[in-house]
Structure 1
């Protein structure tokens, strides 16, 4: 078998193998994934989604939101503040301590009795998708505050979490589409493999031998590798750009929802965007550092992941202002 024929066979087999692998990968990605339904799902919801589930669970208990001035029609505050509920002519203050993997201590409950008194509430209910520390449980027992953690809340909200749709298998004749750039890179790699085999074979051929079928001059391997790298980089850039919405209203909604969710974290008094790229977080305590809860909320959106975070200490504190960044550019 001639050297040119061997190189062609290597080229064909490599190209076909890579093409088949790409199609199998595309089929796997197209297969619908059924999301898990458990208590951990609560910590991954947006603030308003979590609040809606919570109000539905409270409605099943017989509570209804109190219509206060400035509240939206659904009774959910836009700033993530405490909600006022009513049942049998008795009012209850509902405080939601929301955050990824939230662990609530007693400091997050200290102001609730006074707040309930000012708003005319006889009872206090504190809910978190995470858990409560022993200090919070002890304080709640002394102040007659009801605590509901994620494991306790899940059975109550589970009926209101939509069931995942059953996966619909694709038609037998359907062939998943593979991006043309991916196929081009695959066959380019096959060409490089064939050229390497041919080049190695030519190095072992005596100088005075004259092959019967000399192949045409091939481009250098280094140039082929550069072309591969450039094509792969273009695919990565296109994928990253597609993840960020182009609609300005949707971008602003993401920013507002993220700031509202961060405002409900324990240790945080409020959060707002001071500039397009700087999130100003007012801390309510010198001893807490909510950055581990803030970063997961920012990293849900690519355009917010690298935002600068300004941690403002409480009024009268001697500690300096700190700046953090969850992800670099």
Structure 2
């Protein structure tokens, strides 16, 4: 009987979690993947980024000026600005690529004068990040075109290599849908195992109760099924084997990865769980803590809530239970 109950719970939970995760993915805005891909532009090297920008502007009709003495690929070796030509007019291209994700007005200073000295009538400034409000206002006044990472991505997407290739391993080539399905059924297996343990314990308790004669004088002290005393009796002790403890940490991280608002979860140290959020406004702590508190040795772990890439929100820390 416990085995049948566990199989039923496993199948029902697996199907339910799979449907819930798919519905949650369909409900996300369509631009989420584009936003993540645009953020990945900042991980490229300067020369790779400049090459993508030139390819995008090439589709607009721009070509590197022939009299600039540029290399064959049109990218200066010193990282300087590039003069482009289109329909007889010249445009100065400046790629602002650095560690800062927000480009300020200082980066635009002197570009209009530099364009005039090099015979260009217009200026285009490109960054994988974004421009602040003051830079946007100055650019509008000086007739400078600003292209941030999110605006650039649709133009460079055709020139970015596909994420999968013949050299990619099956693990890296796995689709997000396959990973979500694996997480759903992994969590279902954990829940099914817990259901089997609970049913097994209840069956053992029922057999023991039937075997013992009634004790009327101690009826007031009898253990009521489902009470705190009974839960304490059935709860399994914390294992001492390091491999078993590591397995429990992996199970907790896998279960938390299925929570809505969580992109993935992993242990950065034995006492710190790193939770990557899928959106800036996500706050999964209400659903996250019960999953972590299932394991007494993990209940007081520090939870680091990491905002999505490119987000301006700070990292937050949470502790579900005090030591």
Same fold at TM > 0.5: no
* TM-score, structure 1 as length reference: 0.43
Higher RCO (CA 8 Å, separation ≥ 6 residues):
1
* TM-score, structure 2 as length reference: 0.44
